[in-house]
Amino acid sequence: MIIKPMIQGVIARSAHPHGCKEAIRRQISYCRTANPISQGPKRALILGASSGFGLATRIALAFGGAQTETLGVSFERGPSEKGTGSAGWYNNIYFRQAAEQAGIKAVNLVGDAFSPAIRQQVIDTLRAQFDGQVDLIVYSLASGVRPDPATGEFWRSSIKPIGKPYQGTTLDLERQILTETILPPATEQEIHNTVKVMGGEDWASWIETLIQADVLAPGCKTMAYSYIGSSHTNPIYHHGTLGRAKAHLHQTADQLHQQLATVGGEAYVAVCKALITKASVFIPGLSPYLLALFQVMKAKGLHEGCIEQMQRLLSHRLYPDSGPVITDHQRLIRVDDWELSEDVQQEVSRLLTQMTAKNFRELGDMDGYLNDFLNLNGFGFDNIDYTRPISPEELVRLKP
């Protein structure tokens, strides 16, 4: 079997297991030589561990100096008649293999993180394999839907502006062109549902459940991820439905921070840089900004991918060599500082005002964007032989 990239709009329909393994290997080797996390946690639970920020957090925790034991939860598909399985499925497996080779415990649970069943599995696994204690809980889920536990129906998020329509351009990855996007403002119901899916309610429920189960170690920390952005992204993000959901997440962090004080615990939101992940390519209008941002940050030597962001976040913010967690005056951890620096944003503005459907490939970092997108699914690595057949039996034998 030869596996080729299949892209539909902004969705990748195939994943290359050997390339996923290579992506993990490269992230691990970065962490091994990076500025180390010297005060890291012993045991961590990562919700959303199989891709993007959650995966990078897990790799940095294990290989970036702290040798943290991790329990990872994710929603991924294994190989079947229908396809090769999702990239996250292989990321879980190859991460666990690498961690075990290094003598670092890693356990994967695959299932719906919104369900009561997986909460119980997490508690059982913590008790059986992690001394019934966890020192860090990272909440890094990105989903378009969440089941309403009361009715069994789904809340669906909408990525829309609030108050007025949004007009901009979006990169179609399949055809590699910029297309015009017009989005009507969200309804009250759409705002409400997006907050339900991407706000802090489920995070709070997880922490409540884990407190009840008495599996939080003294001094346990929890952290969720957010984005704020700048004037270029405000209309579609910060001032839109996603921004409302993130505002709710920030409030939840403050509420959890008080609640956790009883076990000496702490809760934070980390505001991160805009990066190319399975989730972020869905955000209409973000792609021209990312093309310009990557171009500028690479030219200035300030560019970070997911792994560099998470290593810096853990080593310099959440677990600094000495002293408390480093936050801004709103108690937010900021690793979007380089993205939002004035000279970066000025250069980005300059590029964006010149960018058209004709010149975006030259003006923006099109190669970097495409390569990051391909890498998410194990494609585009120059040292992987994509013509070499893979045996389906080999894939079926791999277990989370």
Is the CB of residue 378 less than 8 Å from the CB of residue 22?
yes
Instruction: Confirm or reject binding of residue 280 to ligand NAI (CB under 6 A).
Output: yes
Nearest approach in angstroms of CB 351 to ligand NAI is: 19
Binding residue for ligand NAI (CB under 6 A) from 70, 74, 84, 194? Answer: 74
Which structure tokens are listed for 43?
A: 């045991």
Residue nearest to ligand NAI (CB): 52
Gap between the Cα atoms of 161 and 284, Å rounded: 10
- What 3-state DSSP class applies to 265? coil
Quickly count: other Cβ atoms within 10 Å of residue 110's Cβ. 19
Residue 237 annotated among the catalytic residues of the structure:
yes
Task: Sort 44 into a burial class: Cβ within 10 Å, 0-12 / 13-18 / 19+.
Answer: buried
Residue 83 dihedral angles phi and psi, to the nearest 5°: 175, -175
Gap between the Cα atoms of 95 and 151, Å rounded: 36
Nearest approach in angstroms of CB 319 to Na ion is: 7
Is the CB of residue 198 less than 8 Å from the CB of residue 269?
no
| Distance, C-alpha 265 to centroid of its chain | 23
Q: What residues form DSSP beta bridges with 226?
A: 271
User: Does 94 show up as a binding residue in the annotation?
Assistant: no
Instruction: Confirm or reject binding of residue 294 to ligand NAI (CB under 6 A).
Output: no
Residue among 143, 162, 165, 164 nearest 154 (CA): 143
Q: In the window 291-330, what residues touch Na ion (CB under 5 A)?
A: 315, 321
User: Does 142 show up as a binding residue in the annotation?
Assistant: yes
Is the CB of residue 88 less than 8 Å from the CB of residue 76?
yes
**38 contact, one of Na ion, ligand NAI, none, CB 5-8 Å limit per kind:** Na ion
Nearest approach in angstroms of CB 138 to ligand NAI is: 10
Residue among 237, 268, 289, 369 flagged as catalytic: 237
Total of residues contacting ligand NAI (CB under 6 A)? 29
Instruction: Confirm or reject binding of residue 140 to ligand NAI (CB under 6 A).
Output: yes
Binding residue for ligand NAI (CB under 6 A) from 68, 157, 194, 226? Answer: 226
User: Does 180 show up as a binding residue in the annotation?
Assistant: no
Q: In the window 259-278, what residues touch ligand NAI (CB under 6 A)?
A: 272, 274-275, 277-278
Nearest approach in angstroms of CB 270 to ligand NAI is: 8
> Which CB sits closer to ligand NAI, 40 or 72?
72
Residue nearest to Na ion (CB): 315
User: Does 177 show up as a binding residue in the annotation?
Assistant: no
Residue 63 dihedral angles phi and psi, to the nearest 5°: -110, 0
The CA-based diameter of the chain, rounded to the nearest angstrom, is 58
Task: Give the residue ranges of DSSP H helices in the chain.
Answer: 17-33, 52-63, 87-101, 116-129, 188-198, 201-212, 241-260, 286-299, 306-313, 342-354, 360-363, 366-376, 392-397
> Which CB sits closer to Na ion, 207 or 313?
313
Gap between the Cα atoms of 394 and 159, Å rounded: 39
> Which CB sits closer to Na ion, 216 or 313?
313
Binding residue for ligand NAI (CB under 6 A) from 41, 48, 200, 284? Answer: 48
> Beta strand pairing status for 266-271 and 216-226?
parallel
Binding residue for ligand NAI (CB under 6 A) from 100, 112, 131, 367? Answer: 112
Gap between the Cα atoms of 212 and 307, Å rounded: 33
Which structure tokens are listed for 224?
A: 């969720």
> Which CB sits closer to Na ion, 34 or 217?
34
Nearest approach in angstroms of CB 396 to ligand NAI is: 20
Contact letters (x/-) for ligand NAI, 337-376, by CB under 6 A?
----------------------------------------
Contacts of 162 by beta carbon, 8 Å cutoff, 6+ apart = 185, 186, 191, 239, 240, 241, 243, 244
Stretch that binds ligand NAI, among 37-45, 112-120, 163-171, 261-269 (CB under 6 A): 112-120
Chain residues binding Na ion by CB under 5 A are: 38, 315, 321
Indicate the annotated binding residues for NAD(+).
Answer: 48-53, 75-76, 112-113, 141-142, 246, 275-277
Q: Give the residue numbers annotated as catalytic, written as ranges.
A: 237
Indicate the annotated binding residues.
Answer: 48-53, 75-76, 112-113, 141-142, 227, 246, 275-277
Indicate the annotated binding residues for substrate.
Answer: 227
Chain residues binding ligand NAI by CB under 6 A are: 48-54, 73-76, 88, 112-114, 140-143, 225-227, 272, 274-275, 277-280
